Structure 1
Amino acid sequence: MTATTIPVKTIGDIPIDKMGLAHYFRNYTEFLGPRRHEALDMLELGVARGDSLKHWESWLPNARITGLDINPCAASFGERVRCYVGEQQDKALLDRIAAERAPRGFDVIIDDAAHVGQLARISFWHLLEHHLKPGGLYFIEDWGTGYWPQYPDGKHYRPESPDLSWHERMLDRAHKTGAVRGLYPLRKLTGWLRWNLVRRRFHGHDRGMVGFVKELVDECGAEDMTHPTLGTGAQRSSRIAWMRVSLGHVVVCKAGGEDAATLH
């Protein structure tokens, strides 16, 4: 994708210049570029004035392109492009769109809609499960809104210091003393305490889109989460083949595609 084709747009009332996020274009070029002349079925959630649809119509000359937005799109397109009006979390509408436009599933889905975590996760899981082909790509744009306190589900990030806790420092010092190291039972005890009392949780930011993206990280760990001896629940593979996370942009490849394991 060339950076000149997508204009300045807004998230809420804040202007976002996507020409400053060059990796958006690199991601689209890397993952869609090799397939740009195929007869892809693409769905974009959140199309505003239709500028991005105009680009996809030109850049993907054989694709059937579908847009969804809460407002009617005034732009005019060729017969390969169709726009719907509605909300991204409306699963019945998503089912109807898929039935009419891609009954065998979409190859590519882009979420550039509300940028609200709860709405994005509803549409993501529904579309991933029911309307994205195995090996299909799901792009999520502008997930950093979770760090914005002026956003409805956002909040300032206040990170904790990456350091040992007070009890870890105490045990660490004790383990190194001559008295402890000279007595085998005491050395074993402090070693056991250091291992079993190590800090287990790291309280990262989990608001809005940030929390939703971290939920996808959990899904990538499904095989470990459900390990028969160490995990919980019935063992299963991840529904995600691989995921790339970058500033404001996520690329997810659905598991099950023939080439999904190698396109990373």
Structure 2
Amino acid sequence: MRVSDTAAMKSVDEVPIDKMALRHYFENYETYLGPIRTAPLRFLELGVARGDSLKYWESWLPNAQITGLDINPCPARFESDRVRCYVGEQQDKAVLDRMAAERAPQGFDVIIDDASHVGQLSRLSFWHLFQNHLKPGGYYFIEDWGTGYWRQYPDGKSYRPQPPALSPHEKLLDRLHRSGLVQAVYPLRKLTGWMRWNLVRRRFHGHDRGMVGFVKELIDECGAEDMTHPDFGVGAPRASRFDWMRVSLGHVVIRKAAG
């Protein structure tokens, strides 16, 4: 995010971000990083372009060691030696490991993904960094997840939602259940009641392309305790690796669980 640009529409690594989404970004960073902004943070941003955001972080986080990654060399010049930029791709685990070893051997406190905005690439870097190089209690921010709704992106597609409504078989069962004959005959009433409960629509085919699909995978992690419930789920019971997750316009914030 080029936080120095406050125009109503701006280009962020070629991604246009409107004023409403940008407000969420600022609110989230102020809310979650504001209380710790003077701490000696280890901070990583993926996708820094010209380095405008790194210059902002250098000023706003006065004691942080700030690391940036981009596919091109960063041309910016900084006021201190606390900022260092690397060249590489966000899904390159060797580059991620090298940055972590050199800049945050005990783990990063904050990671921001403003890189490719392609679901698979963001997914690969997220899980590697989250599991191996983000401190417990650390924050992971993902910007511009709405690119999954754009056909211009290699993994995006236009979204055409279906209106919420009962399916044909649900409408039929509702009519049967309300009919005088069914209400008058107890076994029929019980049967149609059972059918209405057990034949209710089970799947809702929401958009799952690109970054949108990746964000929905992260929501699954929030449901880990239910997924692995000993009575209803599958697999060994476990807690979510997330303390919490917040989704807002164009922005995802995740706090890693403490243990």
Q: Same fold (TM over 0.5)?
A: yes
Superposed CA offset, 1:44-93 (max 9, x none): 00000000000000000000000000000011122100000000000111
- 2:148 is aligned to 146
State the shift of 1:161 in Å: 1.7
How many residue pairs match? The answer is 256
Contact 1:2 1:25 in 2 (8 A): no
1:104-115 map, 5 Å? 104-115=106-117
Contact 1:6 1:51 in 2 (8 A): no
State the shift of 1:232 in Å: 1.0
Secondary structure of the 2:141 match is strand
Structure 1: distance between partners of 2:225 and 2:250: 27
- 1:52 is aligned to 53
Q: Does 1:22 align with 2:10?
A: no
State the shift of 1:16 in Å: 3.3
- 2:219 is aligned to 217
Structure 1: distance between partners of 2:204 and 2:21: 31
Contact 2:2 2:52 in 1 (8 A): no
State the shift of 1:18 in Å: 5.6
Structure 2: distance between partners of 1:214 and 1:92: 27
Segment drifting more, 232-241 vs 139-148? 232-241
Structure 2: distance between partners of 1:228 and 1:32: 37
Structure 2: distance between partners of 1:100 and 1:89: 18
Secondary structure of the 2:27 match is helix
TM-score by length of 2: 0.95
- 1:35 is aligned to 36
Contact 1:46 1:113 in 2 (8 A): yes
Aligned partner of 1:251: which letter? Answer: V
Structure 1: distance between partners of 2:188 and 2:110: 59
Secondary structure of the 2:140 match is strand
Structure 1: distance between partners of 2:2 and 2:13: 21
Secondary structure of the 2:253 match is strand
Q: Which runs of 5+ in 2 are unaligned?
A: none
Query: Cα RMSD (Å) of the superposition?
Result: 1.8
Question: Runs of at least 4 residues of structure 1 off by over 6 A?
Answer: none
- 2:104 is aligned to 102
Contact 2:151 2:157 in 1 (8 A): yes
Contact 1:9 1:17 in 2 (8 A): no
Q: Does 1:239 align with 2:216?
A: no
Structure 1 residues 159 and 20: alpha-carbon distance in aligned structure 2, compared to 1, 3 A threshold: closer
State the shift of 1:21 in Å: 2.0
Structure 1: distance between partners of 2:116 and 2:21: 21
- 2:160 is aligned to 158
Secondary structure of the 1:94 match is helix
State the shift of 1:5 in Å: 5.5
Structure 1 residues 6 and 92: alpha-carbon distance in aligned structure 2, compared to 1, 3 A threshold: farther
- 1:260 is aligned to none
Aligned partner of 1:192: which letter? Answer: W
State the shift of 1:23 in Å: 1.1
- 1:79 is aligned to 81
Q: Does 1:180 align with 2:182?
A: yes
Structure 2: distance between partners of 1:173 and 1:160: 23
Structure 2: distance between partners of 1:31 and 1:123: 22
Percent identity (aligned): 74
Structure 1 residues 184 and 19: alpha-carbon distance in aligned structure 2, compared to 1, 3 A threshold: closer
- 2:133 is aligned to 131
State the shift of 1:15 in Å: 3.7
Q: Which runs of 5+ in 1 are unaligned?
A: 258-264
- 1:205 is aligned to 207
